[in-house]
Structures are given as structure tokens and as C-alpha cells.
Structure 1
């Protein structure tokens, strides 16, 4: 058993394809296939199931082997860091997924500080809803993810048995209207008032969709004008006064639509619309120095902004 075979296992599971894994690792497809076949023979078990319909997926034994392989490679990373403890020039790839509210709010400043501090690190960023981010971390596509959950506890973390969550900050959700909207004169909006107008909301991949529709359906059926994962497009529609949107104070801070008065955030009266965002990783997985340093920078920039 060789270290590169463990790397191949993880990359194949991540890509769902031997050819894609070979491309990512810059090796030949026959080479990676032969290495996996050799490992399966050595372990006397099948690690992957291959099919045209579903690609290359790990078997139950394969999943166990991949989990252990990640732990072994994590320990090797620890050993490397012992020898590089005095070096401040990190070199590698930071791979993470993030919800749009963080991407638009604190992330630009965080990335600016991080890149100035660690210019050699390559950054791979994926902007997704919280549900997809959990899947990305579970599948190894992202080492860490930044998501939102409910305000009181971690029960809203879908895979809390496999993922650890650390809160970074609390936030509040606002109903947002355009300056041309007749609601712009209000100090707040009740759910009953919101039901009288069309709403523009993120699609069902995002927790905001389920949170808002779940709230409104306690009072009636919401009039959904549009669902989209494009935050910029939805804000333009809201700014025109066409519908009501929903955003957190995290993503509205320093937002140009809010700063220019084109969009007005209003509290939702009679309902506690608080939640929290934080970062997740696989439980019991060693976190690379690259990711640990990113979390440190993220925390420092959040506390400056809030």
C-alpha cells in the first residue's frame, strides 16, 4: 500500500470518475486504474462500483477505506507542518464552500487580508446554499464550508453526526422593499402584510427559502413571484418595487442598494427571525494549516465589521 494510492481513492470519490480524477492529479487513466486495482487486490475487497449511469462510486468498504485514508493523509500533513512550523509562507490550495450572504458580506475583506498574508495559496471557492455545502464537505469536495443554521441550536445541521459546526456570528433576517414600493413608508412588516404582495426569494437549495415560506404559510399562502439563486438579479427586481425580498443583516451591511436608499430593510414584526452562521468540517478530520489560518482571518474580519 502506497500513499499515492490513498490520494487516488480520495480523488476518485471526490470526482465520481476515474478519468476526471486522473485529469485532476495529472496522471494517466490506466495508471490510476491499475493502482486502484492493485489496492483492491491487496485488501481483498471491492472499493468502487463502476457504471455508465452513476459513474464511479465507492462501495461500503470503499467508504470506510476513504475515511481512513483521509485520516492518514491528515496525520502526514501534521508531520509536514512540524518541519515547516517556522515558515510563514504557506503553499497549497484552500478549498471551501460558502453561502451567498457571507460571500457578499465579509468574504471580500477576508480574502484580501488572507491573500496578502499568504500570497502563495491558491483559492478554490464555491458559492452554494447551505444544504449543498454540507454535501460538498461530506463528499470531500470542500475541506470547510460556511453555512447558516437556526438560532437556538444545531438541530438544523442535517448531518450533525458527521459534521462539526462552530458559530461565527448571529444575524437577523429583514424584509426588503424598494424605495418606490408603497411599503417603503413602513417601520416594519408583519407576515400578514407580506402575504398581500409578491415575494422574490432564493430557490429551494437555500435555507432562506424554507425559513421564509415556512413562516408565511402559518398565516396563508405566499405569492412567490420569482425564485432564483442570483442575488444580484433579485435585488434589482426588489429595487424596482416589484416585490419583497429577504436578506440578512450580514449581506445587507455595506450593500450599495441599501447605502443609496434603493432598497429599504424592514424588521418582520411578531416573529423572531434570528439565525447564526458558522463553519463546518468533517468530525475527527485534521484541518490543514491553510484552512486553519483562513478561519483565523475570517474570525478577525468578522469581529471588525460587527
Structure 2
């Protein structure tokens, strides 16, 4: 089968939007035209690429997902051609699709985007926000060009960004509030409110290092939820200093001893195969944040 760019763009756009109609709207096609193209492609291939699921909507089959990875690579290479031709004319164009978990979106992404738009106005920036696991999956499937992730992952090329210091967040009535800092063994038996999104493994590693088991009372998705629970004296949080922008009343933080850190990294599928726009994102992020690193991680 001879593929054309329209077919490739359409299938990738369907995967991004999860909808034939939305994909058609973005590519200026009618829904019937989208359906005809998909049906014709599947007929020529002799296999289903997309199925409809009552709960999930449009879902790609296993072979469809594998083809999507190849198609995203093809579109990436075509983008590089456009960038090269534009550079020859003295222009800078390109697109970068960023994936980041919520705290990273709040802490890093706005400043990076603002700086990129000021210095590189010809670049198009797209952002997808999701959990740490979602960001890693997007990188694996080439759904995003670059991601901000936590902890090293051997599936990707990693560029260290910052190291975040772990701290303890407690109610002002907690007995440990009298301490200038909190020793890790002092946390044994304390009710812990554990946050998802990359905190589970490092927190367990902290306790394991002292041959302790955390007493997890609640597991939550959002830091604001955990802070509200601490305010009601329902437990304590082990989080990172950089994740906190403010604290509710009657909630304080204490430094953890010995100091422990969580690595925050920029990740790409292959550093030798990135676009100019992705390289600009990496260079901008590092220039803004990577000089604020600490010495030790876990």
C-alpha cells in the first residue's frame, strides 16, 4: 500500500482526539469523509485499525497502535524537512508536543513556554497534562515529543532538570512540630497521606532505607487534597519542597533528616532523533531550571 500524508495525519489525529468528528474538524474534513478514508485504509490492509468501544469510544487495535508509532515517526521526519527548508530561508518553524505531570505543569511549563514564545515566536507548542505513568506511555508511543518525568527510565534518553528535596508536612498541633527537623525514624507509626504521581516509590524507598514500613492511611491524587487532610489533622505528608506553592493555615513543613531528594528529568525517546523545536524546549528548560540542582538523590 502506498500511503499519503493525509491518511497518516488523519489516523494520528484520530488517536489524539479520540473522535472521527473532532479529527475531521481539525483537518477540515467532514465526518463521512473521515469514515471513508479509514474504511478504505482498513480494507486495503485487510485488518482493523480502529474499533468503537461503548465505554472508551474510539480505540486503536494492537496493530493499529504499532502503526501509529511508525506514523508519528513519519510525521516527525516530515516536520524536520519543513524546518530544514525554513532554516535555509532564514526562518524558524516547528512544533513540539510536551507531556508533563500536573505539578510540573504548574512549576516549570508556563515559564518555559513564555520564554520560548518570546525568543522563538515561529515555534508551535502543544501541551498534554497527565499522570507520570501517562507521560511515560505517551513517550513510548511517540504521542509527545518530550516529557517531564520523575526518576530515571531506561526506555528513554534522560536530561536531568532538578532535584527536589523531600520535606514533611504536619499539623501545627503535631508533637513533632517542636523539632527543627524530623529524623526519618521518628515517622515510624505515623499516619501517612501518600500522593500518587511519582511519590509512591520514593517514599517507600525512604522507609526501606531505614528498614521501616510506612503506615499509609490515605492515598490521594492531588496535593491540595492531602494538604486539606493535614489541616484536619488526619495524617502527615512526605512531599517535595518544590511542589508546595503555599500552605493552609495550621499546616507547617519541617525538613527531613537525612536529606533525601527526588530527581525530575526531561525525557525523549531518542536524543539523536529530536526536532529543532524539541531541542529548543530542552535548552530553554535547562537554562531556566537546571542550575538549581542539589547534590544527592534516591
Distance 1:47 1:81, change over 3 A: farther
Choose which of 156, 170, 193 in structure 1 pairs with 2:163. Answer: 170
1:107-146 equivalences in 2 (<5 Å): 107-119=109-121, 123-146=125-148
Counterpart for residue 207 of structure 1: 198
RMSD: 3.3
| SS of alignment partner, residue 142 of structure 1 | coil
CA contact (8 A) 1:70 1:285 kept: no
Aligned to 2:289: 302
User: Does structure 2 conserve the Cα–Cα contact (< 8 Å) formed by 1:176 and 1:244?
Assistant: yes
The answer (yes or no) to whether the contact 1:213–1:222 under 8 Å persists in 2 is no
Give how far 1:33 is off: 2.0
What SS does the corresponding residue of 2:167 show, helix, strand or coil? strand
Secondary structure, aligned partner of 1:84: helix
Tell me the equivalent position of 2:51.
50
Question: Does the 8 A contact of 2:194 with 2:200 survive in 1?
Answer: yes
Deviation at 1:236, TM superposition (A): 4.5
Partner of 1:12: 14
TM-score by length of 1: 0.77
Displacement of 1:103 in angstroms is 3.1
Long gaps (5+) in structure 2: 294-298
Q: Deviations over 1:58-78 (max 9, x none)?
A: 345434432332222222111
Gap regions ≥5 residues in structure 1: none
Distance change in 2, residues 1:79/1:221 (3 Å): closer
Shift of 1:240: 6.4
Aligned match of 1:232: 224
Structure 2 length normalisation: TM-score? 0.78
Distance 1:174 1:121 in 2: 38
Q: Distance in 2 between matches of 1:14 and 1:139?
A: 12
Quick one: which of 237, 240, 248 aligns to 2:240? 248
Report how far residue 304 of structure 1 moved.
4.8
CA distance in 2 between counterparts of 1:129 and 1:64 reads 22
Matched, 1:277 2:277: no
1:80 aligns with 2:82: yes
Whether the 8 Å contact between 2:150 and 2:264 is mirrored in structure 1 is: yes
1: CA distance, partners of 2:27 / 2:220:
35
Q: Contact between 2:167 and 2:241, CA under 8 Å: does it hold in 1?
A: yes
